[in-house]
């Protein structure tokens, strides 16, 4: 039997759920297909449980600073890692329940189908024994962690998809990949008392393009746990565990945590049956504005599009895909000033234009260290560096990179300013308070203003002209 619908949405993550909100405003003939457990990537395995783990680890880490504040007995503090992980799962389940309560819990069997979808052809989808014939399709299947094929089924191999289900954490871990996920989880595990070593084949961590900020970040985090960068790590089995080699270094560990990226989860869909162009990774060519696949009424939204995962982007793309699936007039997704935040301690943030995209002849760069910032000193978190970029001709803010305290908030201020086209002068007209971390940004802006308004020195031969003419 074939079920005819106006729209089929594949995937009940943030993109898919937001697509449903738009579609159901126009038609009741829609169906949401979801394989596996309900709950978004953010709530179940991503943003939220990872931040709970980071918060627990950072709270436990504070004990190392308490003695200087006059608090004694800190050497007797211990953490029960099993209880800590139970707390992570409890809060994780709360976040998932909050998502489901307002979305899929309200859907009946006619609209919510449990199962994995696969295209039969461009007009039909198979889910188990059911065949669905939609007029339009929205693909919002999310992404999955990348693990080298030879290690996919190995015991002791973890990813962010599986970490929070562990009843017992290993005593030692090699983190392979020091992007945002690897750095956040690596530091959290270290602060929970696990022996952690980080590896990355590149010489950048957390995707920091600015070389000065990258060096500052590596210097800071290497003081906590070893970071072995610049060499491709090799992994082999040994005595029930693993040995990881990088350059001249070798580390024996109980477990491996892979954080080498996430790829769109598209393979089970059999997109090749649609007759549309696919790249080497099986990704279709998608219009970045309408999110439409080729000329067919098939749309792709959220992590399935590829690129850096972001809840807000996934939600907005879901809304646009949902609108476009039921309207002739197509809306377009508009990229905003980019912002990336890593919730390590100290935070790392990159906003606006990245370093490698800047024209050095047209860009002014101000640098501010957090060492002398009063509020950072008070908090005992005065480590880090901020660099802010502005256009020399227009004075407009272009971007920034930073590692330091409370950078998640500084990043928002700068990103809003960049998105609104704010100049350095206009930004300095905004009110600042004291003592706050934002004074570091104020100092960087003042330095930028001085650079932008400095009078260029004239060549020696030009300086002689007035004298010669007046002689």
CATH number for the region 2-144+263-326 comes to 3.50.50.60
ω before 232 within 30° of 0 (cis)? no
Domain 339-453 superfamily per CATH: FAD/NAD-linked reductase, C-terminal dimerisation domain (3.30.390.30)
| pLDDT tens string 402-453 | 999 999 999 999 999 999 999 999 999 999 999 999 999 999 999 999 999 9
The annotation status of 177 as a binding-site residue, yes or no, is yes
ω before 177 within 30° of 0 (cis)? no
Q: Is residue 134 exposed (0-12), middle (13-18) or buried (19+ Cβ within 10 Å)?
A: buried
pLDDT, position 454:
85
d(CA 446, CA 375): 18
The annotation status of 181 as a binding-site residue, yes or no, is yes
| pLDDT tens string 77-108 | 999 999 999 999 999 999 999 999 989 998 99
The annotation status of 261 as a binding-site residue, yes or no, is yes
Q: Does 466 have pLDDT greater than 60?
A: no
| pLDDT tens string 51-73 | 999 999 999 999 999 999 999 99
- Would residue 263 show up in a list of annotated catalytic residues for this protein? no
d(CA 323, CA 330): 8
The encoded tokens of residue 146 equal 């990348």
275 confidence band (pLDDT: 50, 70, 90)? confident
pTM for the predicted model, two decimal places: 0.92
The candidate with the shortest Cα–Cα distance to 241, out of 187, 173, 169, 182, is: 173
Which one of 201, 409, 434, 453 is the catalytic residue? 434
| pLDDT tens string 311-327 | 899 999 999 999 999 99
| pLDDT tens string 107-151 | 999 999 999 999 999 999 999 999 999 999 999 999 999 999 999
463 confidence band (pLDDT: 50, 70, 90)? very low
pLDDT, position 465:
38
Would you say the CATH fold of 339-453 matches that of 2-144+263-326?
A: no
Domain ranges of the chain: 2-144+263-326, 149-260, 339-453
The annotation status of 170 as a binding-site residue, yes or no, is no
At the topology level of CATH, where does 149-260 sit? FAD/NAD(P)-binding domain (3.50.50)
* Chain-centroid distance, C-alpha 92: 18
């Amino acid at each position: 039997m074939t079920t005819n619908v106006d729209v089929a949405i594949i995937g009940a993550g943030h993109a898919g759920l937001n697509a449903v909100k738009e579609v159901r405003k126009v038609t009741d003939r829609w169906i949401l297909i979801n394989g596996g457990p309900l709950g978004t990537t953010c709530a179940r395995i991503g943003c939220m449980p990872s931040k709970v783990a980071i918060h627990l680890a950072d709270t436990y880490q504070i004990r190392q600073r308490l003695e200087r504040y006059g608090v004694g007995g800190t050497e007797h503090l211990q953490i029960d890692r099993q209880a800590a992980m139970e707390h992570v799962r409890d809060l994780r389940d709360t976040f998932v329940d909050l998502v489901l309560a307002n979305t899929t819990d309200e859907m009946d069997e006619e609209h919510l189908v449990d199962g994995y979808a696969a295209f039969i052809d461009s007009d039909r989808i198979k889910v188990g024994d059911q065949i669905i014939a939609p007029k339009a399709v929205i693909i919002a299947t999310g992404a999955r962690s990348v693990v080298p094929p030879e290690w996919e089924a190995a015991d002791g191999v973890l990813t962010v998809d599986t970490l929070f289900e562990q009843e017992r954490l290993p005593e030692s871990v090699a983190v392979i990949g020091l992007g945002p996920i690897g750095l956040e989880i690596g530091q959290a595990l270290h602060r929970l008392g696990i022996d952690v070593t980080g590896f990355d084949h590149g010489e950048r961590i957390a995707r920091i393009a600015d070389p000065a900020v990258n060096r500052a970040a590596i210097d800071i985090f290497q003081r906590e746990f070893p970071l072995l960068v610049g060499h491709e790590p090799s992994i082999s089995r040994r005595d029930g565990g693993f040995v990881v080699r990088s350059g001249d270094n070798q580390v024996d560990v109980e477990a491996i945590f892979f954080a080498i990226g996430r790829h769109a989860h598209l393979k089970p869909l059999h997109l090749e049956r649609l007759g549309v162009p696919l790249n080497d990774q099986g990704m279709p060519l998608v219009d970045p504005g309408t999110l439409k696949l080729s000329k067919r009424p098939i749309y792709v939204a959220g992590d399935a599009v590829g690129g850096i995962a972001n809840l807000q982007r996934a939600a907005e793309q879901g809304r646009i895909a949902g609108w476009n699936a039921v309207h002739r007039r197509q809306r377009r997704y508009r990229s905003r000033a980019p912002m990336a935040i890593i919730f390590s301690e100290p935070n790392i943030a990159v906003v606006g234009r990245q370093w490698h995209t800047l024209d050095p002849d047209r860009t002014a760069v101000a640098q501010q260290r957090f060492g002398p910032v009063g509020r950072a000193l008070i908090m005992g978190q005065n480590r880090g560096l901020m660099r802010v970029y502005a256009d020399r001709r227009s004075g407009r803010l272009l971007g920034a990179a930073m590692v330091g305290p409370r950078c998640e908030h500084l990043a928002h201020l700068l990103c809003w300013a960049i998105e609104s086209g704010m100049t350095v002068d206009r930004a300095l007209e905004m009110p600042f308070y004291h003592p706050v971390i934002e004074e570091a940004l104020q100092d960087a802006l003042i330095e930028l203003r001085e650079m932008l308004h400095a009078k260029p020195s004239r060549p020696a031969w030009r300086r002689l002209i007035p004298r010669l003419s007046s002689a």
